[in-house]
Amino acid sequence: MKERITSLVEQALAGLRERGELPDTAHPEVQIERTRDKSHGDFATNVAMVLAKPAGRKPRELAEQLVAALPEDPAVRSVEIAGPGFINFFQSLEWLSEQLASALEGQRLGVPPAASPQNVVVDYSSPNLAKEMHVGHLRSTIIGDAIARTLEFLGHHVIRQNHVGDWGTQFGMLLAHLEEQQDQASLSAELSDLEDFYREAKRSFDEDPEFADRSRALVVRLQSGDEYCLRLWRQFRRISLSHCFQVYRRLGVSLSEEDVRGESAYNDDLPRVVEELEQAGLLTESDGARCVFLDEFRNRDDELLPLIVQKADGGYLYATTDLAALRYRQHELAAERVLYLVDQRQNLHFRQVFAVARKAGFVEADTELAHLGFGTMNGPDGRPFKTRSGKTVKLGDLLDEAEDRALALVREKNPDISDEELAEIARVVGVGAVKYADLNKHRTSDYTFDLDQMLSFEGNTAPYLLYARTRVASIFRKAGVRPEDITGTIRLEFEPEQDLAARLVQFPEVLEQVAERGLPHLLCNYLFDIAVLFSSFYENCPILGGEDESLRDSRLLLARLTAETLEQGMTLLGIETLERM
Ligand code: ARG
């Protein structure tokens, strides 16, 4: 409600500035407070008094102007001016209660389906298959999945694209190394650890000139479509992808085999892409390489920056493939919006690719292209997360550790749960904690990986939310009723009820924001607020045991909407929930 009123006041201020009734420079910070005395309404602001002095105006007069400029809002019953120039807001509890009732009807918690559903391509996860998935791919995978799920829930047509790195020169040395494995058994043993496999191939490549030559020859053969090389490559690719899918399954990520469309899928389009750039008059040759120079991309010394699309030796690059992918997404997938969940450090790459694709006519003018970059996950030393010995951390190992720690924690709290149930709870808590810790940070900021903090039952963490969810479930168990059997209206007589209700009805707006800005942390913050508000409601407004049955039902309904909102919110974040823990 505070945010809602803040926004109303800000709109009123903007209106006054536009009409010249306030100087353009008048941008006061709008403070909305809850009132102590209900005869002064539910919320109040002193913004007119704060503004009056610098604007050289009388506070009450200014307050009147502001009130006149406030947009209508069904959640606000009335507005009054009091004392030296306070503006008091009375919220409409009938409106709130009606909103809650309609959220409880149907399956969508009051979230309307998108008025104009879009075809949205979400490019996420997209690891390089030469190596094993590591923590660097966690953020793209988890954040992308939450955004894809949210867009889908809002009624958009989401096309997931896992743009895996399955092509390129490093496959030469991998194939050369693969060739050296004599039989099937030694091969699968070797490939059980892709990281080691890659390291050994790289060592041979660096130390053994004969191996290096063989690698280079293999790449040439691979690229010219040699069947033997293609067979080896397919074998490697299949195994590497199966490692990825193991991780996806564990993480509960909604990516399937059909969503994989890697770099290799665009091979045949690459000559065509370069040709079309040529026809569009965009190509310049520089040291034998073919580049696009656009005026808006310059380095610090104001020199033009190239986007290289073909090397002097004829080879194509990451950028060429991305141009081909955009062309495909526009023409074949009919994308109206394309979102890229990729490390912030690739921002220049995407800005260049987008600009070139538009100039070349690969994408239509009204197709939205957005690089949703993210920061780095750091270790305790503030540098990109590595193992003690300096290796990259494998996702599988990381999840193992999270689950082990969760198991110890849950066992300590519930010594009498069966081992089987304990293991299941630990899995949900461990995986959920890792995912949630990533999701609840602003996408663009770096963050420190800290298992203790992620697994804490206090603060904005998965365990806290999961626990809140189980608490609601236990109320219904205690009451001996099924949530869906409760009927009646929701009465909002006490402040904790009103606060919880006011936040619950914001679910649709929050999802809209997540989808529009690609920021799942907004949903995390929202769910955390709901859990905190619920806990204060629970402590201050006894649900069971009273005489008044309609009050009991009203509170059970509020609990039910809380549970459903938490449940739906967690599902959109890709986090499983528990009935008890
Ligand atoms: N494979 C790349 C990497 O690991 C990410 C690909 C992102 N998607 C894209 N269309 N470029 O850095």
* pLDDT, tens digit, 9 for 90 and up, residues 437-469: 999 999 999 989 899 999 999 999 999 999 999
The secondary structure element, H or E, covering residue 285 is strand 283-286
Residue 546 or residue 492, greater confidence: 492
C-alpha 47/C-alpha 372 separation (Å) is 36
Neighbours of 496 (CB within 10 A): 18
Residue 129 or residue 182, greater confidence: 129
Contact 514, 520 (CB under 8 A): yes
Whether 322 lines ligand 1, by a CB cut-off of 6 Å, is: yes
Assigned token pair, 564: 């459903």
Sorting pLDDT into bands at 50, 70 and 90, what band is 185? low
Sorting pLDDT into bands at 50, 70 and 90, what band is 183? low
Q: What pLDDT, on a 0 to 100 scale, did the predictor assign at position 476?
A: 93
Q: Please compute the mean of the pLDDT values over residues 53-72 and round it to a whole number.
A: 90
Assigned token pair, 70: 């406030």
Q: What pLDDT, on a 0 to 100 scale, did the predictor assign at position 374?
A: 94
Q: What pLDDT, on a 0 to 100 scale, did the predictor assign at position 134?
A: 79
Whether 126 lines ligand 1, by a CB cut-off of 6 Å, is: yes
Tell me how far the alpha carbon of residue 527 lies from the centroid of ligand 1, in angstroms: 31
pLDDT tens digits for range 387-397: 777 777 888 88
Domains of the chain: 2-91 (3.30.1360.70), 93-126+388-581 (1.10.730.10), 170-261 (no CATH)
Sorting pLDDT into bands at 50, 70 and 90, what band is 3? confident
168 closest CA partner among 213, 111, 116, 216: 216
Q: What pLDDT, on a 0 to 100 scale, did the predictor assign at position 54?
A: 82
Q: What pLDDT, on a 0 to 100 scale, did the predictor assign at position 165?
A: 95
Check residue 447 and give left, alpha or beta (phi > 0: left; psi -120 to 50: alpha).
Answer: beta
Helix locations, 166-226, DSSP H: 170-179, 184-191, 194-207, 209-223
Strand order across the 32-34 sheet? 32-34, 43-45, 86-91, 76-82
Residue 56 or residue 191, greater confidence: 56
Q: What pLDDT, on a 0 to 100 scale, did the predictor assign at position 399?
A: 93
Give the β-pairing of 119-123 and 157-161. parallel
C-alpha 524/C-alpha 441 separation (Å) is 9
Considering only CA atoms, which residue is closest to atom 9 of ligand 1? 163
Best residue among 342, 352, 376 to mutate for probing ligand 1's pocket (most ligand atoms within 8 Å of CB) is: 342
- Where do we find the tokens 């690609």? 518
Assigned token pair, 442: 């602003």
Q: What pLDDT, on a 0 to 100 scale, did the predictor assign at position 385?
A: 83
Q: What pLDDT, on a 0 to 100 scale, did the predictor assign at position 55?
A: 80
What distance lies between CA 93 and its chain's CA centroid? 33
Q: What pLDDT, on a 0 to 100 scale, did the predictor assign at position 182?
A: 63
Neighbours of 232 (CB within 10 A): 18
Whole-number Cα distances in Å, 435 to 139, 294, 438, 578: 9, 39, 5, 16
Sorting pLDDT into bands at 50, 70 and 90, what band is 184? low
267 closest CA partner among 332, 228, 223, 312: 223
Give φ, ψ of 72 to 5 degrees. -65, 140
Average pLDDT, the chain: 92
Per DSSP, 480 falls in state T
Q: What pLDDT, on a 0 to 100 scale, did the predictor assign at position 106?
A: 84
Whether 263 lines ligand 1, by a CB cut-off of 6 Å, is: no
Tell me how far the alpha carbon of residue 125 lies from the centroid of ligand 1, in angstroms: 8
